Amino acid sequence: PYFKTLPNCILASIILVALKGMFLQFLDLKALWSISIIDFAVWIVTFAGTVLLDVDLGLLVGVGFALLTVIIRSQRPYSCLLGQVPGTDIYKDVGVYKIAEETPNIKIFRFDSALFFANAEFFKSSLYKLTVDPN
């Protein structure tokens, strides 16, 4: 009842001001892409679902997609061997950083996830593949 007498251009202005924060999030997409492609994909899927379907359904699609990415990331996490960067106390992935040197007779295995039943077999196979297979 309060907005019934207002002209449409005033109503449109109110909506644009209310959505200003959402429109400014488009500027953050480039940074989000460089930080995490998966989080970028969650943002895009949620945005597209909200625009194409409805706010409620779009948010539901976004939450579902985010949960799916969490499940996938926890089942197949990143794992690597670490080596020391010469002259520092920093350890990096020896497969990515060629300057990193492995410590003789010591293997440092990195597993980027919590260890639980869904990824236990992947942990074991990654550990054996990157270090020494006891079999």
What is the pLDDT averaged over residues 12-16? 89
Kindly give the residue spans of alpha helices, DSSP state H, lying in 7-119. Answer: 8-18, 20-24, 29-35, 37-52, 55-75
**Distance in angstroms (rounded) separating the CA atoms of residues 12 and 7:** 9
Q: φ and ψ at 47, to 5 degrees?
A: -60, -50
**Distance in angstroms (rounded) separating the CA atoms of residues 21 and 38:** 22
What is the pLDDT averaged over residues 41-56? 92
Q: What is the pLDDT of residue 1?
A: 67
**Distance in angstroms (rounded) separating the CA atoms of residues 22 and 8:** 21
Q: Are 103 and 84 in contact (CB under 8 A)?
A: yes
Span 82-115, pLDDT tens digits? 999 999 999 999 999 999 999 888 999 999 888 8
Q: H or E stretch including 126?
A: helix 120-130
What pTM did the predictor assign? 0.62
- In the chain the domains, ranked by start, together with CATH numbers, are 8-75 (no CATH), 79-130 (3.30.750.24)
Most confident of 57-66, 67-76, 119-128: 57-66
